[in-house]
Structure 1
Amino acid sequence: MSQPADLVINARWIIPVEPANVTLEHHAVAIRGGTIIDLLPQDLARTHYRANRTVSLPDHVLIPGLVNLHGHSPMALMRGIADDLPLMRWLQEAIWPAEGKYVSSTFVREGTLLAIAEMLRGGITTCNEMYFHPDAAAEAFDLLGMRAVIGLTTLEFPTPYACDADDYLRKGLAARDAWNGHPLIDFALAPHAPYTVGDITFARIATLAAELDIPIHMHIHETAQEIADSLAQYGKRPLARLAGLDLLGDNFIGVHAVHLDDSDIELLQRHRCSIAHCPTSNMKLASGIAPVARLLAAEIRTGLGTDGAASNNRLDLFQEIRHASLLAKVSTFDATAVPAHTALRMATLNGAQALGLGDRIGSIETGKAADLCAIALDTFATRPCFNPASHLVHVTGREHVSHVWVAGEIRVDKGNTVLQLNDTELLGFAALWQTRLSN
């Protein structure tokens, strides 16, 4: 006897990510209550399930929704305001002054809404977020129905959001309490970086992370100058300093990790840390090339992030997938480094596991949430297709995304976003803030 299903998706190819290196042909995904209940051949799906709705994707690849392991969503409103600068000049001369003048809960909410629409349209269903006013960010993710882990950003110096580290944490934890239990929204502790946070605050963050069982998400080893400054001030490299403060563990997500020596990699490996690799941002700010092939060889979980639109300038994980693969190859002179299936795993399951969400998202498996992305291979620019995984890394882009589901709810349908806000409203936010930031 057939079973009921809310939705059955038939696809030409399905790359489930887990098990690894597998591409299924002419399979279907059955969904009920926002959860995947089966992955099976299409002919069996027709007899096993009575679907309220069936979606046919005859020239498409279906993959898990992409996981953006590091973003600053409100900075979509700062896209292009500070190009062609190295990191510290970019921060000190452009970004921090603009934030000091304009950042507010409205800025965060409207910038995040703009970013969410861009990310969903590009197949991103989860974002690991780091910025001010986490409550306003949560409102935006809730409104547009995207999954998020929202960082409770912490600094030692004042901003319009908070006056000191204790104030950042107090306000952040209040936002977490207000949104606790939301099906799509989780939280992380997000100390900005070793050069903006002191030892006393780090010790408190380590204690809170253990008590609350949530990730720690922070920038680390992004530039050579950061390493030199840490050695001069503390007599230790940043990761060694953090290890001494008990911050490193399997809940630690280090962002960038460009400048690593053998001792750094050993620490990351021993403490089972995760890394958010942001190749485009690292290139644009001339920070360097992260040693991703070495991280993967050491079995250090490595996911992919876009960083913010002010340093990328796209929230496009397909671009990050391609750049991650190509940079790994050219930097090691090894054409076998980061093959296609590995790059796709970095953009999906690796990121989910880093966030502690690997049991919920990141692969197409029974019992997981139906966070899914379909990519159309139906144009002359995508034909012929001998290897769908290779095509996703080296041929397609976010413009080929046709459908996106979050927890079984359609967010992009045949290339059109299905959101609570329309394009005119989103463009209005962009125009308003462009005028303000131009003055």
Structure 2
Amino acid sequence: MKIELLIKPRWIITVNATNQVLENHAIVIHQGQIIDLLPATDSQRYQAEQVVELADHALMPGLINAHTHSAMALLKGLADDLPLMEWLQEHIWPAEARWADANFVYDGTQLAIAEMIRSGTTCFNDMYFFTDASLKAVQKAGIRAALGMILIDFPTAYANDPDEYLAKGRALHDSVQDLPLITTLFAPHAPYTVSDQPLLKLHAQAQALNVPIHMHVHETAHEVMQALTEQGERPLARLNRLGVLDNHFLAVHMTQLDTSDITLLANKGVHVIHCPESNLKLASGFCPVADLLEAGVNVALGTDGSASNNDLDMLGEMRTAALIGKAVAHNANAVSATQVLRMATINGAKALNLAEVTGSLEVGKSADMIAIDLGSIEALPVYDPASHIVYCTTRDQVRSVWVAGKCLMNERKLLTLNETELKATAKAWQLKIGEFA
């Protein structure tokens, strides 16, 4: 059979239902999909246009960054070492008010995508303004993306009121229906920035369009205490009262949870997006990941934006999630390497309603894959490649990246984006923004 691509790595980390790791196997790609996984010695049954030999490499599903603000790559390091509300209100929101427009979003999103590809991310879930500009950047790069249709109560350069935010979101949704790598979801910012009536309108539209809702929730103790003082109920309880919590709801951060909250999340099928490094840097608190997993909640992983992380490195995020998860649970068995690998791949796909398309290396799924070099001095010896990727691997070991069978990076060289141009653009923005910082 004639095919487009045959890859022969040392290991294939499938992240399938049994977390199977295949050694000395080949993966067969045709028309952007995985059509076979078989022993490398049997691969001669296929006649490939391209054969890629990857000795000492692990091939695994591309990482899914389930929560980020990509354009904020241009604000990386602008206001470090501050608590969340001071960081937002006194630094980030003023900077966005001055600079955030379509050009800012296009350039920042391109820069972020380049970093994500070089870090092994093949799909990201974005929450930001000027999504038409984000879409252009995504299409140029060839990465998979879920673009958030943002909503807040107050006016910005992007929209004047909730109705305009919703209208622009619907226009974006309609415009991407024929784009196989792009999906949409609603992205109301947070309970403290979106009031009841706009949120109810958004929920009705989300149900009509069958798209998820993605929202910061219970990010800090201050947020919860403020809601109790002003509204007499916790933000999660308010969202439940409004009827918006279900298996299409993605709750981001979730550092302030009690037992009843966890039970509610499990009963409603809510997905939790864990952003450990951003939570640490802003001293927001700790998401009880082990308790959530034990309760059956689907937990995925995100980096948050570069302005509060300060990188988009999902490999680093995995290691941090595993280590913090153990410390918070006081249990070395908690938040295992296998669980964290799933959080960074198939769990993200489930949250984004993409589990039938991506998130694992299985026949019938899109060929969204990354090759990681485990043959260097720093990586050897290798006893368990899956565990090794969580605890002993850096993004510099990501050698090649494919989305839907198309190679976006080969041997660390970006193939769809121009690194020289991106560096020049980033430096130009640094001069402009830095002058007023």
TM bucket normalised to smaller: over 0.9
TM-score of the pair, normalised by structure 1: 0.98
User: Is 1:216 the counterpart of 2:213 in the alignment?
Assistant: yes
Residues 94-113 of structure 1 deviation map (CA, whole Å, 9 limit, x = unaligned): 00000001100010011000
Q: Does the 8 Å contact 1:20/1:341 carry over to 2? A: no
Q: CA deviation at 1:171?
A: 1.4
Q: Residue 28 of structure 2 corresponds to which residue in structure 1?
A: 30
User: Is 1:410 the counterpart of 2:410 in the alignment?
Assistant: no
C-alpha distance in structure 1 between counterparts of 2:6 and 2:233, whole Å: 55
User: Is 1:82 the counterpart of 2:79 in the alignment?
Assistant: yes
Q: Which amino acid aligns with 2:426?
A: A
Q: Which amino acid aligns with 2:55?
A: P
Q: Does the 8 Å contact 1:86/1:285 carry over to 2? A: yes
Q: CA deviation at 1:92?
A: 0.2
User: Is 1:21 the counterpart of 2:58 in the alignment?
Assistant: no
Q: Which amino acid aligns with 1:58?
A: A
Q: Residue 67 of structure 1 corresponds to which residue in structure 2?
A: 64
- Size of the aligned set, in residue pairs, is 435
Aligned pairs for 1:10-409 within 5 A? 10-46=8-44, 48-409=45-406
Q: Residue 424 of structure 1 corresponds to which residue in structure 2?
A: 420
Residues 81-133 of structure 1 deviation map (CA, whole Å, 9 limit, x = unaligned): 01000100000010000000110001001100000000001110000000001
C-alpha distance in structure 1 between counterparts of 2:243 and 2:377, whole Å: 54
Q: CA deviation at 1:424?
A: 1.3
Q: Does the 8 Å contact 1:129/1:149 carry over to 2? A: yes
Residues 262-319 of structure 1 deviation map (CA, whole Å, 9 limit, x = unaligned): 1111111111010110000000000011100001001100010010000000000001
- Report percent identity of matched pairs: 49
C-alpha distance in structure 2 between counterparts of 1:394 and 1:386, whole Å: 12
C-alpha distance in structure 1 between counterparts of 2:135 and 2:182, whole Å: 7
Deviates more, 1:227-236 or 1:342-351: 227-236
Q: CA deviation at 1:349?
A: 0.1
Q: Does the 8 Å contact 1:258/1:291 carry over to 2? A: yes
* 1:158 partner SS: coil
Q: CA deviation at 1:175?
A: 1.9
Q: Does the 8 Å contact 1:278/1:305 carry over to 2? A: yes
C-alpha distance in structure 2 between counterparts of 1:94 and 1:132, whole Å: 17
C-alpha distance in structure 2 between counterparts of 1:333 and 1:355, whole Å: 30
Q: CA deviation at 1:438?
A: 1.3
Deviates more, 1:340-349 or 1:166-175: 166-175
C-alpha distance in structure 1 between counterparts of 2:296 and 2:371, whole Å: 29
C-alpha distance in structure 1 between counterparts of 2:171 and 2:221, whole Å: 36
* 2:308 partner SS: coil
* 2:283 partner SS: coil
Q: Residue 438 of structure 1 corresponds to which residue in structure 2?
A: 434
C-alpha distance in structure 1 between counterparts of 2:375 and 2:229, whole Å: 56
Q: Does the 8 Å contact 1:6/1:51 carry over to 2? A: yes
Q: CA deviation at 1:431?
A: 1.1
Q: CA deviation at 1:433?
A: 1.0
C-alpha distance in structure 1 between counterparts of 2:124 and 2:253, whole Å: 16
* 1:383 partner SS: coil
Q: CA deviation at 1:71?
A: 0.6
RMSD (Å), alpha carbons: 0.8
* 1:310 partner SS: helix
C-alpha distance in structure 2 between counterparts of 1:218 and 1:4, whole Å: 45
Q: Does the 8 Å contact 1:116/1:144 carry over to 2? A: yes
Residues 170-198 of structure 1 deviation map (CA, whole Å, 9 limit, x = unaligned): 11211222222211111000000000000
Unaligned runs of 5+ in 1: none
* 2:421 partner SS: helix
C-alpha distance in structure 2 between counterparts of 1:213 and 1:234, whole Å: 30
C-alpha distance in structure 2 between counterparts of 1:313 and 1:120, whole Å: 16
Q: Which amino acid aligns with 1:21?
A: N
C-alpha distance in structure 2 between counterparts of 1:384 and 1:252, whole Å: 42
Q: Which amino acid aligns with 1:426?
A: L
* 2:88 partner SS: helix
Q: CA deviation at 1:50?
A: 0.9
Q: Which amino acid aligns with 1:433?
A: W
